[in-house]
Amino acid sequence: MEAKELRNQIRNGTFDKTTSGAAGNHVQANVVILPKRYAFDFLLYAMRNHQAVPIIEVLEDGRTESVYAEGSDIRTDVPRYNVYRDGKLSETVDDISDWWQDDFVTFLIGCSFTFEQAITDAGFEMKHIMQNRNVAMYRTSIKTVPAGIFSGDLVVSMRPFRKESVERIAEITGMFPDMHGRPIHHGDPDAIGITDLGQPDYGDSVELIEDEVPVFWACGVTPQNAALNARPEVMITHAPGHMFVTDLYNEAFKVRQPE
Amino acid sequence: MEAKELRNQIRNGTFDKTTSGAAGNHVQANVVILPKRYAFDFLLYAMRNHQAVPIIEVLEDGRTESVYAEGSDIRTDVPRYNVYRDGKLSETVDDISDWWQDDFVTFLIGCSFTFEQAITDAGFEMKHIMQNRNVAMYRTSIKTVPAGIFSGDLVVSMRPFRKESVERIAEITGMFPDMHGRPIHHGDPDAIGITDLGQPDYGDSVELIEDEVPVFWACGVTPQNAALNARPEVMITHAPGHMFVTDLYNEAFKVRQPE
């Protein structure tokens, strides 16, 4: 399916589930929407934590159409939104037109679906996709670099792979430095402050079998965690797994030399 | 001379000239200081025009010491500052302590002195350095990508080189993608809207001899030009050629693979 057609189906409600695997060649984005008075702090937080928060585009206040998604409207073209008030989840909705404020600034942030497509194309299977689940995500003990009101622990996504595949997988995702890049860790969850792999903080758990190791990547949900600390009066994000689909191709973010 | 010693001499007034060639292995930075209400627009402008405005560090409001310059004070450690009011140059001073506002945000921006050092180390001479002049800079007809109140034409620096050296020079500066990188143009000044090489908009002119071609790089003075259009009530910058000297080494910004 083409990206534009998918956005139309999302807008009119005929597509209302996770966008994982849908229009798979197109770049999907994490979404963070904030009043302009927080925008400098957030943009600086993104810059300082690029691996977790790689900015694809900023829609200044007054803009609702992405230049990378023709005819799009950020108020209607995400299948599910989380509305946070004072840092707490207050509503989950499929249209934010009634919540929209003229001073809202929208940040589109790179998403691991891009490198997942590359992993799939290289012939590897991922358990959460086979089981039709959301990827498992965890808060770690790794501190992000603060900026203004934003601070907090790095959130990571986890995918299990056989031990002998880990270096190849790291190379594949390293070709996408602006889409979270190489894993930040593999092996011991305790080493990065994760005490129970069976209890992810976001998404769904997956079981590891004997010869598999957990592989961890910096995750675009990190800023949602930072917002829990910052407590802005209002902040709107996509619901995990329910992304904004752009017209960009994943291939465009592939570098010739891995980082 | 070490960077810290140079900053001390600048602070106490015993060093008061251009920093070109001083503490030459250390990264020097263009400086832009703005009230926080303009900081989001400016940071977004920098992101969208990375080749001209590569951010090294942002000092949020309340901070005056760079993490990359131990014991530094941005209010005293630049040899010469330009103070702009409503987009017009109002004063040139050697200390901005009396002008300082609590809401000031400081942007440190990559500078061509880094790649000039690499050009020199590769055995090439540059005329403006031999003649102890400031590099020639020109407004072009190339539009930058606007962000909020900031917009305007790209400013470039120009250095003449023999025709047969241009590709080698481009390779050398391409190793520093976060310090303006490869030239944006060489050869015909008219093609980028420069009508008279003898009349630079900033800095000093240099003469070209017969087998030399002008080579042009995106320049960190571009945001000063954008400020002329934006007309913030107050904005402070370094005076051209009079930079902030950090403890960072130029070598740290060299990539293994040129862009």
SS3 content of chain A, % helix, strand, coil (to 5): 25, 30, 45
Whether the per-residue pLDDT at B227 is higher than 90: the answer is no
Q: Do B47 and A47 touch (CB under 8 A)?
A: yes
Identify the CATH homologous superfamily for domain A115-218.
PSTPO5379-like domain (3.30.2040.10)
Q: Taking CB atoms and an 8 Å limit, are A60 and B257 in contact across chains?
A: no
> Is the pLDDT score of B225 beyond 90?
no
**Mean model confidence pLDDT for chain B:** 93
Q: Mutate which of A34, A36, A40 to test chain B, going by most B C-beta atoms within 10 A?
A: A40
The CATH 3.30.2040.10 domain(s) of chain B lie at 123-218
**Integer Cα distance of B156 and B136 in angstroms:** 8
- Cβ atoms of A122 and A172 within 8 Å: the answer is yes
Chain A residues near residue B257 by CB distance under 8 angstroms: 256-257
Which residue on chain A is closest to B40 by alpha carbon? A40
Out of A44, A256, A257, closest to residue B43 by CB: A44
The span from the CA of A34 to the CA of B31, in Å, is 28
DSSP state, A38? G
Residue B47: its chain A contacts at CB < 8 A?
Answer: 43, 47, 55, 58
CB burial of A113-129 (b: ≥16 within 10 Å; e: otherwise) equals: bbbbbbbeeeebebbbe
Residues A237/A53, Cβ–Cβ less than 8 Å? no
Residue from the list B43, B55, B256 with its beta carbon closest to the beta carbon of A40: B43
How far, CA to CA in Å, does A243 sit from each of A80, A94, A110, B130? Answer: 8, 12, 10, 56
**pLDDT number for residue A165:** 96
Among the residues of A58-200, which ranges form H helices? 113-121, 127-130, 166-174
* B117-153 pLDDT tens trace: 999 999 999 999 888 888 999 999 999 999 999 999 9
By C-alpha distance, the chain B residue nearest A57 is: B48
Residue A43 has its nearest CB partner, among B36, B43, B256, at: B43
**Residue ranges of chain A assigned to CATH 3.30.2040.10:** 115-218
The second-level CATH assignment, the architecture, of A3-112+223-253 is: 3-Layer(aba) Sandwich (3.40)
Per-residue pLDDT at A256: 72
Question: How far is residue B249 from each of residues B2, B18, B27, B78, B179, measured CA to CA in Å?
Answer: 11, 19, 6, 18, 12
Report the C-alpha gap between B75 and B77 in whole angstroms. Answer: 6
Supply angle C-alpha B48, B51, B57, rounded to 5: 80
Please tell me the distance from the alpha carbon of residue A186 to that of residue A178, in angstroms, as a whole number: 20
Sign of the alpha-carbon torsion through A6, A8, A11, A14: negative
pLDDT of residue A225: 87
Give A129 or B257, the one with higher predicted confidence. A129
In whole angstroms, give the CA distance from residue A13 to residue A258.
39
Between CA B175 and CA B160 the distance in angstroms is 19
Query: What residue in A sits closest to B35 (Cα-Cα)?
Result: A40
Dist. CA B231–CA B149, nearest whole Å? 8
Where along chain B do the CATH 3.40.1640.10 domains lie?
A: 3-112+223-253
Is there a contact between B148 and A60 if contact means CB atoms under 8 Å apart?
A: yes
Is A147 close to B44, i.e. CB distance below 8 A?
A: no
* pLDDT over 90 at A21, yes or no: no
The alpha-carbon gap from A39 to the nearest alpha carbon of chain B, in Å, equals 6
Question: What contacts B193, CB < 8 A, 6 or more positions away?
Answer: B139, B140, B141, B142, B153
Question: What tens digit of pLDDT does each residue of A203-223 get?
Answer: 999 999 889 999 999 999 998
> Reduced to 3 states, what is the DSSP secondary structure of residue B53?
coil
A231 pLDDT tier (thresholds 50, 70, 90): very high
CATH number 3.30.420.40 is the correct assignment for the domain at B123-218: no
Q: Do B60 and A105 touch (CB under 8 A)?
A: no
Q: What is the DSSP string of B129-195?
A: HHTT-PPEEEEEEEEPPPBTTB--EEEEEEEEEEGGGHHHHHHHHHT-TTTT-S-SEES-GGGGT--
Interface of B with A (CB under 8 A): 36, 39-40, 43-44, 47, 55, 58, 60, 105, 147-148, 256-257
Measured in angstroms, the CA of B104 and the nearest CA of chain A are apart by 13
- The minimum CA-CA distance between B30 and chain A, rounded to whole Å, is 18
Q: Which residues does chain B have within 8 Å of residue A257's beta carbon, measured at their own beta carbons?
A: 256-257
Chain B residues in contact with A63 (beta carbon < 8 A): none
Asked if A60's CB is within 8 angstroms of B147's CB, the reply is yes
Cα B27 to chain centroid distance, Å, stands at 11
